[in-house]
Amino acid sequence: MEETKNQEIAENTVSEAKEELKEIQTDDVMKKTEEIPADNSMEKAEEAPASDTAANAQEAPADSAAEETMADYAEELEASFKQIHEGDILTGTVIGVSETEITLDFGYYTDGIIHLEDTSDDPTFSIKNSIEPGQTLSATVIRRDDGAGHILLSMKEAAAVMAWERLEELQKSQKNITVKISGVTKGGAIAYAEGIRGFIPASKLALGYVEENDLPDWLNKSLEVRVITADEEENRLVLSAKEILREAEAEERKQRVSNVEIGLVTEGTVDTLKPYGAFVNLGNGLSGLLHISQISQQRIKHPGVVLKEGQTVKVKIIGIKDGKISLSMKALEDASASEIVEETFEMPETEAATTSLGSLFANIKLN
């Protein structure tokens, strides 16, 4: 009974203490409230100088500017927390270059590192000679942490992924690219395009075939080429300079032909004989076709009956069409015959200058 009674007394004492504490706190609040005048806020507003008002007005734009700044960096902040994975291709800005590595800034929490062996398969590639600070590069994530807190990257892996697409586009467009011959092998030369090892057959290095013994002379030469085969599945890249050289030669020949006049008589060398005629080298990179019908006044079955390769002949240019020159030996014979007849006899006005010798002699009257 006594224990119960003592417990009740203790509980009452605690309750009374709590009530007294509340009353004390309430009294303090009321006293502080009474000390503050009712029109205090109005007086402060009236007493506040204009400069304070202006200062307050200026604070709002500052807050707004701060909000805009945060918005400007929203993408960067988001990027810094973005998760990256091995195999991802990242694009960043070069912020450091040395002989052995490249440092890239991706806007992440750490920088990316590309070691020399991960830049290119081209053995002649040099970081110092090829990469500059401020340049934009793409690279594949090899490891998210190289052990020093950096992202380990590979430029050549990213290049391999994207290179074949570019090479296929180059094959379709037939756009010229410049490569440097870095090696020779049996039957051709080696050059890298878009970081991919390419092969240039000996027959595609120049207009004529390049002999195997002459291939070493092409080492380290720069050459303008086109992609003629780009097969990613077969890992096969074939390049050629011949088409470009052929077009350049054709353009030069076109310019030279434009300076040639019909009726010009010149000498040339028989290059080749064909069943339909002979090709005559006129010099200065020009050649013309001497058709079988223009070789002789007599009908012949083959140009070889009258001509042989290497023979020097006098020809007359009788036509130029689509950059091709037509020649004639027969026209010179006709001209010679006409000159002889004109010296001895008067030609009828209606008779053509190309009248054959037979028809001319048919008009001759002997005394």
Segment 98-129, tens digit of pLDDT: 989 999 998 888 899 999 988 887 788 888 88
Q: Which two tokens stand for residue 148?
A: 């020093």
Tokens (6 digits) for 45: 């507003």
pLDDT digit string (tens) for 83-94? 788 888 888 999
Q: Is a pLDDT exceeding 70 seen at residue 356?
A: no
Question: What confidence tens digit (pLDDT) does each residue in 229-270 have?
Answer: 999 889 999 999 999 999 998 888 888 888 888 999 999 999
Residue 273 has pLDDT above 60, yes or no: yes
More confident residue, 43 or 118: 118
Question: By C-alpha distance, which of 57, 64, 136, 67 is closest to 104?
Answer: 136
The whole-angstrom separation of Cα 176 and Cα 174 is 6
Per DSSP, the three-state class of 45 is helix
Q: 303 or 82, which is more confident?
A: 303
CATH class of 174-247: mainly beta
CATH class of 260-340: mainly beta
Q: With pLDDT > 70 as the criterion, what percentage of the chain qualifies? A: 68
Beta strand pairing status for 112-115 and 151-154? parallel
More confident residue, 72 or 13: 72
Q: Which of 305, 308, 285 is nearest to 296 (CA)?
A: 305
DSSP 238: E
Q: CATH 2.40.50.140 residue ranges in the chain? A: 80-159, 174-247, 260-340
For residue 165, what pLDDT band results from cuts at 50, 70 and 90? Answer: confident
Question: CATH number of the domain at 80-159, please?
Answer: 2.40.50.140
Query: What pLDDT, on a 0 to 100 scale, did the predictor assign at position 16?
Result: 57
CA quadruple 166, 170, 173, 176: dihedral, nearest 10? 140
